[in-house]
């Protein structure tokens, strides 16, 4: 198997992809319930924005985080492959 096919199989096809999906779900689970034990729920709800705007911003931040996490292996593996030979 060529090296590029091996890397694709190892990272994007099997268990690492599933781990990535699980992490994406965990990152996307931020809600007001997480703020309740800290005591910042009232502050968040008193901001001059709607709940829809709060949810949209959280969704956008989650999407950006997942996108960045998706590019990390694509950037790190070629560099480490060159270093390791």
Distance between CA 25 and CA 33 in Å, rounded? Answer: 16
Q: How far is CA 45 from CA 32, 56, 59, 76, in A?
A: 9, 14, 17, 40
Distance between CA 39 and CA 63 in Å, rounded? Answer: 26
Range of the domain at 11: 3-84
Q: Is the pLDDT of residue 30 over 70?
A: no
Predicted model pTM = 0.56
Distance between CA 32 and CA 37 in Å, rounded? Answer: 10
Domains of the chain: total? 1
36-61: pLDDT as tens digits: 788 887 887 888 988 888 878 887 88
């Amino acid at each position: 198997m060529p090296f590029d096919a091996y890397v694709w199989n190892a990272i994007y096809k099997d268990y690492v992809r599933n781990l990535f999906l699980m992490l994406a779900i965990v990152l996307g689970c931020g809600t007001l319930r997480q703020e309740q034990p800290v005591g910042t729920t009232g502050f968040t709800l008193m901001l001059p924005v709607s709940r829809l705007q709060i949810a949209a911003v959280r969704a956008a931040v989650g999407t950006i985080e997942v996108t960045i996490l998706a590019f990390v292996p694509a950037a790190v593996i070629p560099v480490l492959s060159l270093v390791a030979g």
